[in-house]
Structure 1
Amino acid sequence: MQSFRTEFENPIVEKDIIDLEQKIRAFREGKIHDEKFRSLRLARGVYGQRQPGVQMVRIKLPFGKITFQQLLRIADVSDEYGSGNLHLTTRQDIQIHYVSLDRTPELWAELERDDITLREACGNTVRNVTSSPDSGINPDEPFDVSPYAQAVFKYFLRNPICQEMGRKIKISFSSTEKDTAFSYIHDLGFIPKINEAGERGFKVMFAGGLGAQPFLASVTHEFLHEDLIIPYTESVLRVFDRYGERTNRNKARMKYLVQKLGLEEVNRLVAEEVIANKSKIFKIDTGTVPLPAFPAPVAGTEGKPADEQHYQQWLDTNVFEQKQSGFYGVYIKIPKGDIKTDKARIFVEAIRPYAADEIRITQNQGLLLKFVRKEALLPLYNNLNELNFAVPGFDSVADITTCPGTDTCNLGISNSMSLAVVLENVIHDEYPELVYEKDLKIKISGCMNSCGQHGLAHLGFHGSSVKANGKVVPAVQVMIGGGTVGNGEGRVAERVIKAPTKRAPAVLRAILDDFAGNSAEEESFHQYYDAKGKDYFYQLLKPIADLSTLQDHEYVDWGHEETFETAIGVGECAGVVIDLVATLLLEGEEKLQWAGEAFERGAWSDAIYHSYSVQVNTAKALLLDKGVNSSTQIGIIREFDTHFIQTGEVVLPESFSDFVLKINKNEPTEDFAITYLNQATEFYKQMKAKRGVEVNS
């Protein structure tokens, strides 16, 4: 691995990249524990891929906003370091695949030249903050939520309170009550409101989530003033960091903490953290995300499209009038969410004369162009059509959301991307009228973890398997009845039946035909599903799922030629076995340094939180020496009291709980910061010396 250095205007970014390089080197030399290194690189957007020896790199694009130059930069980086492909995600990110771990610092440095970050795109952090892609131009929005999403992203990026949580946190901002950012399946979902006094605020949805066990979010505030959304979020993250599960990954989300403690108790703990917050109110600068410059008027656009019917269909399904008079938003359907880099470059030049320099990535893996003048629609359509980017039916039944599945994901069970193409072809070929149907969504995930959001689809599929004739058959779990209701309300799809994957088209035809033939006039799909009931659909699909009629080709997944096997991809190479306790103590020393640096620059709250982490990590190290492993930070604090303070083995002026939990009993002042830092320093030195004596005795 070659040493890498670069220079940036932002020294924090430079330090981040150099730190990643040093940590990779230490990992290669066996000096960093595998689990610790995994946590560190994930928080830098570097994710293990299904294929051995290569990584997926996720780029963090707050609320999906990207400029022409940024898209070109990412394309160049993908060519140099990856596979020459850009994958758009359901969280409005872009992913690059087949990247060497050793080259990730260089890759990150290249991206930062155009203000693009990898930081906290993966890992146990605040993930990409999403918003409705049409925020800022939606005719029905109370106000533009983009600056609020930007402020939340910026406030919590590199924030000590959310760097090493038990699991990830997902936050969304919807532009209207239609809730197109799906607040109901987020840890924190915000829907804009204006109260009777004319003040801005948000309805707050809390502790939702998909995954293998979906939970619908609860309302914590019908109206939370705009100045309080960041302080409230900070309090929530502090509670999750301290009380969230850390051992059992399957129970380490906010939804399980609420299930364990109850919503009322979690709300009480959140309120208790307010005193320690860096900001009691936080006024958000609504000018931080200005409207992009409008494209120049277009001359000489007379003429007719080659296919007038196709053009009109595109206008009807992919184009809408913005709240800014005379301008239009244009949605682009991206098959499978994949754009080859050579095509991305042509695309930028094709849209540059006609659209504003701000593209938004959408939750269904498409793109939104803004501020297209009416007279520019036809030439824009012609350019897009040459690239096959003028396919009608954006966000319709014919626009299927999918995760990468077994193409690249370690957890994938089936090939969701190929299945999506097959089902879209069925709709375009056999049900062309459904390209206008936007109230019925189809979503596919390669496994039960719902990266393709199958749990909130009207018709969802996730990868699975069944056994027949002594063989494993690739299958889909069919889920029906999910979707967005609005204003924070949503529905989780129900598991109905498993069917061989090759029969998914037959499942689709059966449901679409039955809906067309047996639903009442003006009845929505949700009303139709509720009226018929789950068993009706089980009986409808049971003959399709019958395994006694399997054909040879059904033992092979879509997009494959070999017989199906359920296999998890090989992970990254592991470091040698090392002393985990020593590693935790070494981390304590690093965190003390961070605390001191934060104090020196006047960041009292950051210094306090780093000092808190030193004490908890150090206590965890000594508990591990006794074979005691607690799954939460609050558990570590209590166990240390039990095994060290109450036994007299360690003497402190008070209980360890009182000693450490001063953090949420005091304002983050300079006086408290230095007192708490000194306390953490002395505790660390005392415990490190104690451990050294025990090891050497």
Structure 2
Amino acid sequence: MQSFRTELENPIVERDIIELEQKIRLFREGKIPDEKFRSLRLARGVYGQRQPGVQMVRIKLPYGKMTLAQWKRISDISDEFSTGNLHLTTRQDIQVHFVSLDRTPELWSQLEQDDITIREACGNTVRNITASDAAGIDPDEPFDVTPYADAAFRYFLRNPICQDMGRKFKMSFSSSDKDTAFAYMHDVGVIPKIQLIDGKEVRGFKVMIAGGLGAQPQLAKVAFEFLPADQLIPYIESVLRVFDRHGERSSRHKARMKFLVQKIGMEAFEELVKEEFTAVKNKVVPIDADAWIATEPSETPGALPAYTIENPQQFEQWKKTNVFEQKQAGFFGAYVRVLLGNISSDISRLLIEKLQPVIADDVRVTVNQGLLLKFIRGEHLAYVYSQLEAVGLAAPGFNSVADITACPGTDTCNLGISSSTGIAVALEQVIQEEYPGLIYNTDIKIKISGCMNSCGQHGMANIGFHGSSMKSKGKVLPALQVLLGGGTMGNGAGRVADKVLKVPSKRGPDVLRSVLNDYATNLQEGELFNDYYDRRGERYFYDLLKPLADLTTLQDEDFIDWGQANDFATAIGVGECAGVVIDLIATLLYEAEEKLLLATESITAGAYADAIYHAYSCFVQSAKALLLDDGVSCNTQISIINDFEKHFEETRRFPVSNFKDMVLEINKQEPSAAFAEQYFQQAKEFYKASQQYRANKTAQTVNA
């Protein structure tokens, strides 16, 4: 592996990239264990694929925004390092696949030339912060949430409190009470509100916490009906500190924040959050939204090139379903349906070239894997449509029944059980050919995941599917779990879909036909789908679909998954949605030493809150190393602190006193220079004593 040189203006970013290159080299040389290296690369957006020897790189686009230059940069990157495909995700990221691990630092370096990062796009970190794609132009919004989402992204990127948590952490900013960013399914989800306080309009947010999908969905709880905007980031910081200290770390299936709140209760959780407030870096974080450089409308272009519209009827449908008038008079937003979220680099560059004169320099990736083009003048809509039509991206029905969301599933993901992309294409074909009028129906959402983990968000769909398997006559066949009745209700309320039954995957189109036909035949006037589902009940739909689950009538094709030629076989690998537990003693002590170095740098830079948290991490990592070396399992940071006191301090096996009180001073002191220096010195002494204890124990073992 050859090293490379970067020429970036940001020394922090440059250091990150050089560090990744160095760690890859050490990993190749066998000097970093696989578990540790996996955790490190995930936090830098590098994710293992189903196919051995190649990586998926996740590009982090806060609130889904990319300039045209960034879109072109990503397209060029995909050509050079990947396959020429850009995959748009439900978290408004872009993923490129089949990347060589050794080339990821160079890829990252090229992205950063247009201020694009992959840092903390994966792993046990704060993932990409999503937001309503129409934020800033939404006619229903009380104010633009974009500056607040951007501030949160920048505040928590590389923040010591959220670099190696027990599990990933997801946030969203909705633009209005319609909750189009799904506050109810996030660790922290917010909805903008304005309150009249002392005769003045004050901006703030309704705050939801501890939601999540996955195999065990849980709706978020209301933390605040109204929290002033300048208090939002300090509150989130306190929440993250509690999650980092008290969250599960042994069992990844119980490590999301929703399980912590479920375990200790909302009241106890809120008390812990309040206890952390003393130690947060800033008590208020005001956002000067008026100074925010908002998206500018496109300049009035000169004469546009000649163009033609091949399908005028579809153009009219497209205007009705994909176009909306912005809150800025005279301008329109236009949505682009992207099948399976996959758009090629060639088409991307062509659209950038053709559309640049008539759209804003601000394209948003949407949460249903499409694109939003902004600030289009009414007289330019036909031209925009013609360019989309020329590249096959002018399908009407954005965000309708016909616009199906699906994760990559078994195409590239280790956790995929059965194909999600193949069934998504088949279902879209059914709607296009048999139910063309449903392009106008935006009430029903169809979402598909390749497994139960809900990357395709099937758990919140009106009609959802996730990949599974079934057995018949000693053979395994691909299957779909059918879910019904989920969805967004608005203002932070949502519904989790019910699991109805499991069917062979090839019968998925018949499931859709049965449900849609039954709804069309029996609905009452004006009845929305979920109201109809509630009136009929889960058992009714189980009985309706039960014949499709009959395994006595299987055909040979039922044993072959969508898009495959051979019989189905489950091939689930090791999931990488988060880091794994590191249980190597030397590695833990090495990490503790790294935290001390970071603390030293932070003190020198005057970043006292960061220094304190690095020192805290040194305490925890050192104590965890000695506990694990003693055979004591460690599942939360607070249990590490308690167990160390019990096993080492109370038994007088280790030269320390009042260990717990000393460590937990972190949430009792303001982050001052004096406390930072004191706490750092205590952590340094504890680390040295831990190293000596470990060395003595090893020597005794060798001499025994």
Aligned to 1:210: 213
Closer, same or farther: CA 571–291 of 1 in aligned 2, 3 Å: closer
Amino acid at match of 2:504: P
Mapped to 2, the partners of 1:501 and 1:562 lie a distance apart of 15
How far apart, CA to CA, are the structure 2 residues paired with 1:219 and 1:104? 40
Q: What corresponds to 1:139 in structure 2?
A: 139
Cα separation, partners in 2 of 1:101 and 1:571, compared to 1, 3 Å: farther
The 1:37/1:322 distance shift into structure 2, 3 A limit, reads same
AA aligned to 1:587 is E
Tell me which residue corresponds to 2:80: 80
User: Which AA in structure 2 matches 1:377?
Assistant: L
Aligned to 1:195, the other structure's residue is in SS state strand
| Among candidates 523, 526, 538, match of residue 522 of structure 1 | 526
- The 8 Å contact of residues 58 and 122 in structure 1, kept in 2 or not, is answered as yes
Using a 3 Å threshold, how does the CA distance of structure 1 residues 387 and 288 change in structure 2: closer, same or farther?
A: farther
What amino acid is the match of 1:459? Answer: I
Q: 1:287 to 1:26 in 2, by over 3 A?
A: farther
Q: 2:365 aligns with which of 361, 364, 369?
A: 361
Cα shift at 1:33: 2.0
8 A contact 1:49–1:571 mirrored in 2 = no
**Equivalent-residue separation in structure 2 for 1:678 and 1:353 (angstroms):** 59
* Aligned twin of 2:579: none
2:592 is matched with which residue?
A: 588
- 1:244-283 matches, within 5 Å, as 244-283=247-286
Q: Deviations over 1:297-335 (max 9, x none)?
A: 256679984432211100000000000000000000001
Q: CA–CA distance in 2 between the matches of 1:272 and 1:118?
A: 33
Q: Does 1:30 align with 2:30?
A: yes
Q: Which amino acid aligns with 1:175?
A: S
Mapping of 1:334-413 within 5 angstroms?
334-413=338-417
- Secondary structure at the aligned position of 2:267 is classed as helix
Structure 1 unaligned regions, length at least 5: 573-577
**Whole-angstrom distance in 2 between the partners of 1:638 and 1:4:** 45
Asked whether 1:487 is paired with 2:491, we answer: yes
Letter in 2 for 1:370: K
1:280-308 CA distance string (max 9 Å, x none): 01101315642233222256679984432
Does residue 240 (structure 1) correspond to residue 254 (structure 2)? The answer is no
Cα deviation, residue 570, structure 1 = 7.3
Task: Indicate the residue corresponding to 2:643 in structure 1.
Answer: 639
Query: Which consecutive unaligned segments of at least 5 residues does structure 2 have?
Result: 577-581
Q: 2:233 aligns with which of 230, 235, 260?
A: 230
**Quick one: which of 651, 664, 667 aligns to 1:664?**
667
Does residue 507 of structure 2 align to residue 503 of structure 1? yes
8 Å contact kept, 2:583–2:628: no
Are 2:542 and 1:558 equivalent residues in the alignment? no
In structure 2, which of residues 306, 330, 333 is the aligned counterpart of residue 329 of structure 1? 333
Structure 1 residue identity aligned to 2:226 = F
For 1:280 and 1:56, locate their aligned partners in 2 and report how far apart those are by CA, in whole Å.
38
TM-score by length of 1: 0.98
Aligned twin of 1:628: 632
Query: Is 2:178 aligned against 1:178?
Result: yes
Question: Aligned partners of 1:264 and 1:31: how far apart in 2?
Answer: 45
Secondary structure at 1:47's aligned position in 2? strand
After superposition, the Cα gap between the structure-2 partners of 1:570 and 1:683, relative to the gap in structure 1 and judged at 3 Å, is closer
Give distance in 2, aligned partners of 1:227 and 1:166. 28
- Write the distance in 1 (CA, Å) between the matches of 2:321 and 2:471: 42
Q: Does 1:533 align with 2:528?
A: no
Distance between the aligned counterparts of 1:627 and 1:569, measured in 2? Answer: 28
Aligned AA (1:613) = S
3-state DSSP class of the match of 1:274? Answer: helix
Contact 2:655–2:689 under 8 Å retained in 1? no
Shift of the 300–103 alpha-carbon distance from structure 1 to 2, 3 Å rule, reads closer
Work out the CA distance in 2 between the residues paired with 1:677 and 1:650.
19
Structure 1 residue identity aligned to 2:191: I
CA distance in 1, matches of 2:5, 2:99: 19
Report the TM-score when normalising by structure 2: 0.97
Residues in 2 aligned to 1:49 and 1:130: alpha-carbon distance in whole angstroms:
24
Q: Distance in 2 between matches of 1:304 and 1:343?
A: 18
Is the CA contact (8 Å cut-off) linking 2:307 and 2:386 kept in structure 1?
A: no
The answer to which of 77-86 and 230-239 deviates more is 77-86
The amino acid across from 2:73 in the alignment is R
Conserved in 2, the CA contact under 8 Å of 1:85 and 1:96?
yes
Between the aligned residues of both structures, percent identity stands at 62
Alpha-carbon distance in 2 for matches of 1:399, 1:494: 21
Q: 1:190 maps to which residue?
A: 190
Cα contact 1:52–1:569 (8 A) shared by 2: no
CA distance in 2, matches of 1:153, 1:635: 30
Question: Equivalences for 1:25-104 in 2 at 5 Å?
Answer: 25-104=25-104
Further displaced range: 213-222 or 1-10: 1-10
**For residues 99 and 571 of structure 1, what CA distance do their matches in structure 2 show?**
18
Matched residue of 2:289: which SS? Answer: coil
- Deviating 4+ runs (over 4 angstroms): 298-304, 569-572
Code of the residue aligned with 2:6 in structure 1: it is: T
Q: Deviations over 1:55-106 (max 9, x none)?
A: 0000000000001111111111111111111000000000000001111101
- SS of corresponding position for 1:283: coil
Cα pair 1:51 1:569 within 8 Å, conserved: no
How has the CA–CA distance of structure 1 residues 288 and 214 changed in structure 2, closer, same or farther, with 3 Å as cutoff?
farther
* Aligned-partner Cα distance in 1 for 2:178–2:370: 19
Alignment of 1:434 with 2:438, yes or no, is: yes
Task: Tell me if structure 1 keeps the 8 A contact 2:49–2:412.
Answer: yes
Please give the secondary structure, in 1, of the residue aligned with 2:413.
coil
Compute the RMSD of aligned alpha carbons: 1.4
Deviations 1:629-677 (A, max 9, x none): 210000000000000100011232x421101000001000000000000
User: In 2, distance between residues paired with 1:411 and 1:545?
Assistant: 24
Q: What's 1:608 paired with?
A: 612
In structure 1, C-alpha distance between the alignment counterparts of 2:690 and 2:545, rounded to whole Å: 63
- Counterparts of 2:583 and 2:358, CA distance in 1: 60
CA-to-aligned-CA distance 1:100-152 (integer Å, 9 cap, x gap): 11111011001001000000000000000000000000011000000110000
1-structure distance, mates of 2:293, 2:473: 62
One-letter code of the match for 1:615? Answer: F
TM-superposition CA deviations, 1:453-501 (whole Å, max 9, x none): 0000000000001111211110100000000000000000000011111
The code of the aligned residue for 1:316 comes to K
Q: CA deviation at 1:394?
A: 0.2
Looking at structure 1, the residues matched to 503 and 343 of structure 2 have their Cα atoms a distance apart, in angstroms, of 31
More off after superposition, 618-627 vs 86-95: 618-627
- After superposition, give the CA deviation of every residue in 1:208-254 in whole Å (9 maximum; x if it has no partner): 00000000000010000001000000000000000000000000000
2:152 aligned residue = 152
1:575 paired residue number: none
- 2:465 equivalent among 461, 473, 487: 461
**Corresponding residue for 1:107?**
107
Cα pair distance change 1:567/1:157, threshold 3 Å: same
Shift of 1:351: 1.3
Tell me, what secondary structure is at the counterpart of 2:196? Answer: coil
* 2:703 counterpart of 1:689: no
User: What is the distance in 1 between the residues matched to 2:254 and 2:355?
Assistant: 45
Query: Structure 1 counterpart of 2:57, which letter?
Result: V
AA at the equivalent of 1:667: E
1:416 matched to 2:431:
no
Letter in 2 for 1:269: L
Provide the rounded CA distance (Å) in 2 between the counterparts of 1:249 and 1:149: 28
Map 1:647-662 → 2, pairs under 5 A: 647-652=651-656, 654-662=657-665
Q: Distance in 2 between matches of 1:347 and 1:561?
A: 35
